Structure 1
Amino acid sequence: MRSRGSKRLADEPAGSTGTRDILVATDVKKIYKTGAESVEALRDLDLTIEAGEFLAVMGPSGSGKTTLLNCLSGLDDIDSGTVVVEGKDIHRMSDAKRSHDRAEHMGFIFQSFNLIPVFTSAENVELPLLLAGAKPAEARRRAEETLERVGLGHRKKHRPNELSGGEQQRVTIARALAGGPSIVWADEPTGNLDTETAGSIMDLLQELNNEGLTLVLVTHDPAIGSTAGKLIRMRDGAIESATDRPEE
């Protein structure tokens, strides 16, 4: 991860680290307008995310954490700058193309789970695959494989109201992973969970990252932030600091 305000690894020879940049954001600005008032939610922000990174984003409420996630993933528009994901400037795409690319390259994990109540675990995981054009049999196979991967193969026929909070979050993780994304965005994924359950979810995310998953996680919890390989702190729409976790 490289960002304005941290040591500029960009000065190193190209390819010297053997890493691949998945996302490069340059001079990103986001302004929210309410009547005559304007709030600069992101201020000329630079950030590079490399393949296989586990990046945590922290900062006080209103610092721009969730806005950063939404703008880098293309869920929200930006006012200026560029966000290049897998070599494509996502904010120069049409809404339809950006939505298609997001479904192809990204997964999302939300604090509130966002599961469809009348669907089983497997059906919730299948749905985005079907919307992306997968055949029903292939969607079912991938959903069941991914639920097994997150430890919920035995709960694939259960609906959300039959699952614990931790199990529901594992379904959302499976849903995020089933499409084989390049990067997964997690916005306060443990915010609705007790400490023990949150720990088990973070263990799973850490394990997935160790297997090569690129993960960007927004959190208020310093204990969660400390598990990431890299940590950025935001304040007033800008990156205040960027640090690597010391090697163990």
Structure 2
Amino acid sequence: MNPPAPDRQRPLLAATGVRKVYRTGSVEVTALRDLDLTVLPGELVGVMGPSGSGKTTLLNCLSGLDDIDAGRVEVDGRDLFAMSDAERTEHRARAMGFVFQAFNLIPVFSAAENVELPLLLTGTPPGEARARATAMLDRVGLGDRVAHRPSELSGGEQQRVTIARALVARPAVVWADEPTGNLDSTMAGQVMDLLHTLNRDEGQTIVLVTHDEAIGARLPRLIRMRDGRLVSDTRRAALQPAG
């Protein structure tokens, strides 16, 4: 029996009154200021703002990578900060995928080995993990690169491997922090086309930080931040990949 379809009216992410303060000695810097945000299943949401506005801090707090000083964050129906550290780590491994500006691939591993690693760490049998990794690499256009190591791949191909790794466990949400930051404009466009396609065709929920106005202009929902606050939240009709 297939699992029930997600309730698209129930938020996948619900953050309420989130506050984050960084402290160095007697100095306090408030990075997030009583922030509220909801994201529905299947949304593709961009976060933009000037340097220091709190974009990366927001992603880190919403994913549970950083603690918060006040507020509540629920992802896929679970309160992240009501969990122990071990529970939160397990929830993150099973319900979340991550794509960063730095590819963070293991140099001595092949593309398939990099992609299957999250599955192996959560107890998936090796044969199943390899089959799912190979299928996901094919899905992102790297079916002929499964045995290649990162040094044998272009920057755009390496980022596709990281996207495959983020998606292979079938996460509820993918967090992407400047996923095109290390790519030229052509490769950046290809990576964004892939993310749009995965969102449109498979309903993958994606929340991404970008500084690129051209990328922001193509997103169906765009949030802007300043000084740790959300200052605008714009929804547009779904836009098609450029390619």
Please state which band the TM-score falls in when normalised by the shorter chain.
over 0.9
Q: Which residue of 1 aligns with 2:155?
A: 165
Partner of 1:198: 188
Do 2:63 and 2:92's aligned partners in 1 also have CA atoms closer than 8 Å?
yes
Query: TM-score of the superposition, structure 2-length normalised?
Result: 0.93
**8 Å Cα contact 1:226/1:245 also seen in 2:** no
Task: Give 1:18-29 correspondences, 5 Å limit.
Answer: 19-29=9-19
**Partner Cα separation in structure 2 for residue 173 and residue 233 of structure 1:** 24
Are 2:53 and 1:63 aligned?
yes
SS at match of 2:88: helix
Matches within 5 A, 1:57-136: 57-136=47-126
Q: Is the 8 A contact 2:8 2:42 kept in 1?
A: no
Q: Which residue of 2 aligns with 1:152?
A: 142
Identity of aligned residues (%): 65
Partner Cα separation in structure 2 for residue 68 and residue 101 of structure 1: 18
Native 8 Å contact 2:219 2:238 kept in 1: no
With 19-28 and 59-68 compared, the bigger mean Cα shift is at 19-28
Provide the residue aligned with 2:225 in structure 1. Answer: 234
For residue 171 of structure 1, what is the amino acid of its counterpart? V
Distance 1:159-1:247 versus aligned 2 partners, 3 A rule = closer
Within 5 Å, which residues of 2 pair with 1:19-58? 19-58=9-48
State the one-letter code of the partner of 1:213. Q
State the 1:134 CA deviation. 0.6
Give the C-alpha shift of residue 43 in structure 1: 0.3
Q: Give unpaired runs (5+ residues) of structure 2.
A: 1-6
SS in 1 for 2:71: strand
Matched to 1:25, the amino acid is A
Residue type at the aligned position of 1:181: P
Residues of 2 paired with 1:168 and 1:247: CA distance?
Answer: 27
Deviation at 1:61, TM superposition (A): 0.4
d(CA) in 2 for partners of 1:181, 1:159? 25
Question: Number of aligned pairs?
Answer: 232
Distance 1:233 1:241 in 2: 5
Corresponding residue to 2:212 among 209, 221, 226: 221
- What whole-Å deviation, never above 9, does each CA across 1:142-169 have from its counterpart, x for those lacking one? 1000000000010000000000000000
Query: Unaligned 5+ residue runs, structure 1?
Result: 1-16
SS in 2 for 1:179: coil
SS in 2 for 1:33: strand
Deviating beyond 6 angstroms after TM superposition, the runs of 4 or more aligned structure 1 residues are none
Contact preservation (8 Å) 1:125, 1:175: yes
**Per the alignment, do residues 195 and 18 of structure 1 end up closer, same or farther by CA in structure 2, a change over 3 Å counting?**
closer
1:191-232 CA-partner distances (Å, limit 9, x unpaired): 000001100111000000002010101000011111211101
The SS at the match of 1:155 is coil
> Cα offset for 1:246?
4.3
How far apart are residue 20 of structure 1 and its match? 2.9
